[in-house]
């Protein structure tokens, strides 16, 4: 590989924050000019491929150094581990059409929107078992599932090999677009010895705030880390979600105990499997804890309410290297006058107002106001304005 640009310092082995998965925080950002790769055959990446390239090269997907070879791919599909036994739950692969694969040998320039963004050293080509992959990773072969639909639409051959990213893509939120190295440095600068990460692709609501603040009673810092990569067309846009986070943080959170960053991965909607991937990558960012609520990374009715929590029993606590905070379904209790769960509220369903991102989206699409039990007024105004503009 080409010498790396501005290689960040290795994580401090004396730090209370967890070691990255595999022991080394990968960094494969070279700073090379695109012109240096002009002589190579080109392969255009879609949004997921570009996101995966960044996640690999910046260490968010440590210990991966490239797109998976066949041994790792099959091991992940069948037993949620890399070939060497390291926990890993979702294949990270690079599909291409069969006819293109014949042209892609050795070094390949990776492009996105026609611009050279990186390089792949092709080490292997193989044909996946897409039926098995769909059933094991997504728990269905139903092509109306967005993850399965993407799998079926992708090329028939997978390319494997180490990657190089030419430059960091800071995206639409440059101030919050922290690499794992930068996040770890930010935690250390704040003196945080324990950090809980929280992710959502949904608009922020009162149930989320409840989870955050319960977790903050247990740890030093909260890393709000919303996913801003590719999502379904009917999901709330990342720009709107980020404005909502800003409004909430300004008025309702202690600034010295919260850090807002963005998670540039693309959604796969793999439910329980994706929950494990999200937890392992947050370990790489330096987090000690990760919140998993109801139906994490789910879509439709493909997964049980708490499947994304139960899947973690397949791994030992030490090998995960991050503590999972499991939260039950929460609601606003009109009698308690607060957000609660079955663990803390004695009242029946008639007293409860269900809180969910899906319900928030439904109300917004219908042009109805968001009640205070759902959302803080500042957040509700951000969401109302966004949906009014879209209409």
pLDDT band at 231 (very low <50, low <70, confident <90, very high): confident
Counting DSSP H helices and E strands in the chain, the numbers are: 13, 15
Going by CATH, does the domain composed of 34-165 fall within 2.30.30.30?
no
Of all residues in the chain, the percent with pLDDT exceeding 90 is 78
* pLDDT score recorded for residue 354: 80
As a three-state string, the secondary structure of 341-359 is ECCCCCCCHHHEEECCHHH
* pLDDT score recorded for residue 5: 60
Do 34-165 and 180-263+328-390 have matching folds?
Answer: no
Give the whole-angstrom CA distance, residue 391 versus residue 382. Answer: 14
Residue of higher predicted confidence among 373 and 132: 132
**Mean pLDDT, to the nearest integer, of 268-287?**
97
Residue 11 has pLDDT above 60, yes or no: no
DSSP H or E run through 280:
helix 272-284
Instruction: Tell me how far CA of residue 292 lies from CA of 91, 197, 208, 288, 328, in angstroms.
Output: 21, 10, 11, 13, 9
Q: Which residue has the tokens 């999200």?
A: 278
Structure confidence by residue, pLDDT tens digits, 375-391: 899 998 998 888 777 66
Structure confidence by residue, pLDDT tens digits, 120-141: 999 999 999 999 999 999 999 9
**Mean pLDDT, to the nearest integer, of 296-324?**
94
Give the whole-angstrom CA distance, residue 342 versus residue 244. Answer: 28
Q: Which residue has the tokens 């799998």?
A: 151
> Maximum CA pair distance of the chain?
69
Give me the active site residues, please. Answer: 201-202
Structure confidence by residue, pLDDT tens digits, 335-353: 999 999 999 999 999 999 8
**Mean pLDDT, to the nearest integer, of 293-320?**
93
CATH level 3 topology of 180-263+328-390: Rossmann fold (3.40.50)
**Mean pLDDT, to the nearest integer, of 273-283?**
98
Residue of higher predicted confidence among 361 and 205: 205
Domain ranges for the chain:
34-165, 180-263+328-390
| DSSP label at residue 134 | I
**Mean pLDDT, to the nearest integer, of 6-25?**
79
**Mean pLDDT, to the nearest integer, of 65-78?**
98
**Mean pLDDT, to the nearest integer, of 91-102?**
96
* pLDDT score recorded for residue 1: 46
Residue 257 has pLDDT above 50, yes or no: yes
**Mean pLDDT, to the nearest integer, of 105-113?**
97
Please give the full DSSP string across 221-250, using - where no structure is assigned.
Answer: EEEE--B-S---TTSPPHHHHHHHHHHHHH
60 Cβ contact list (under 8 Å, min separation 6): 54, 179, 180, 264, 265, 281, 284, 285
Give the whole-angstrom CA distance, residue 210 versus residue 214. Answer: 6
Give the whole-angstrom CA distance, residue 53 versus residue 110. Answer: 9
Structure confidence by residue, pLDDT tens digits, 168-194: 999 899 999 999 999 999 999 999 999
The reported pTM is 0.93
CA angle 162, 168, 173 (to 5 degrees): 135
* pLDDT score recorded for residue 315: 97
Q: State the average pLDDT for the chain.
A: 92
**DSSP 3-state assignment of 292?**
strand
pLDDT band at 23 (very low <50, low <70, confident <90, very high): very high
């Amino acid at each position: 590989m080409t010498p790396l640009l501005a290689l960040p310092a290795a994580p401090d082995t004396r730090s209370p924050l967890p070691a990255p998965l595999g022991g080394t925080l990968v960094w494969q950002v070279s700073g090379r000019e695109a012109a240096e790769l002009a002589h190579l055959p080109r392969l255009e990446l879609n949004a997921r491929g570009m996101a995966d390239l960044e996640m690999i090269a910046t260490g968010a997907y440590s210990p991966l150094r490239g797109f998976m070879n066949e041994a790792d791919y099959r091991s992940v599909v069948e037993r949620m581990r890399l070939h060497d036994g390291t926990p890993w739950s979702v294949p990270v692969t690079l599909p291409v059409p069969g006819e293109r694969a014949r042209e892609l040998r050795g070094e390949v320039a990776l492009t996105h929107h026609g611009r050279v963004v990186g390089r792949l050293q092709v080490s292997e080509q193989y044909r996946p078992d897409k039926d098995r992959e769909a059933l094991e990773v997504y728990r269905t072969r139903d092509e109306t599932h967005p993850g399965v639909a993407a799998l079926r639409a992708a090329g028939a051959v997978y390319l494997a090999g180490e990657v190089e990213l030419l430059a960091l893509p800071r995206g639409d939120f440059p101030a919050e677009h922290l690499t794992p190295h930068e996040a770890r440095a930010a935690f250390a600068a704040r003196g945080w010895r324990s950090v809980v990460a929280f992710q959502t692709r949904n608009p922020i609501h009162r149930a989320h705030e409840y989870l955050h603040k319960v977790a903050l009673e247990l740890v030093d810092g909260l890393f709000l880390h919303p996913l801003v990569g590719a999502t379904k067309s009917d999901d709330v846009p990342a720009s709107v979600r980020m404005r909502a986070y800003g409004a909430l943080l300004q008025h309702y959170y202690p600034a010295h105990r919260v850090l807002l960053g963005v998670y540039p991965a693309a959604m796969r909607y793999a439910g329980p499997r994706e929950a494990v991937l999200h937890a392992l990558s947050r370990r790489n960012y330096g987090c000690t804890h990760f919140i998993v609520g109801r139906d994490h990374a789910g879509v439709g009715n493909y997964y049980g309410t708490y499947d994304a929590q139960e899947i973690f029993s397949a791994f030992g606590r030490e090998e995960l290297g991050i503590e999972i905070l499991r939260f039950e379904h929460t609601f606003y209790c009109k009698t308690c006058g607060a957000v609660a769960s079955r663990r803390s509220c004695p009242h029946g369903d008639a007293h409860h107002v269900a809180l969910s991102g899906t319900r928030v989206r439904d109300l917004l699409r219908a042009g109805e106001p968001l009640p205070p039990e759902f959302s803080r007024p500042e957040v509700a105004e951000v969401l109302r304005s966004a949906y009014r503009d879209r209409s």
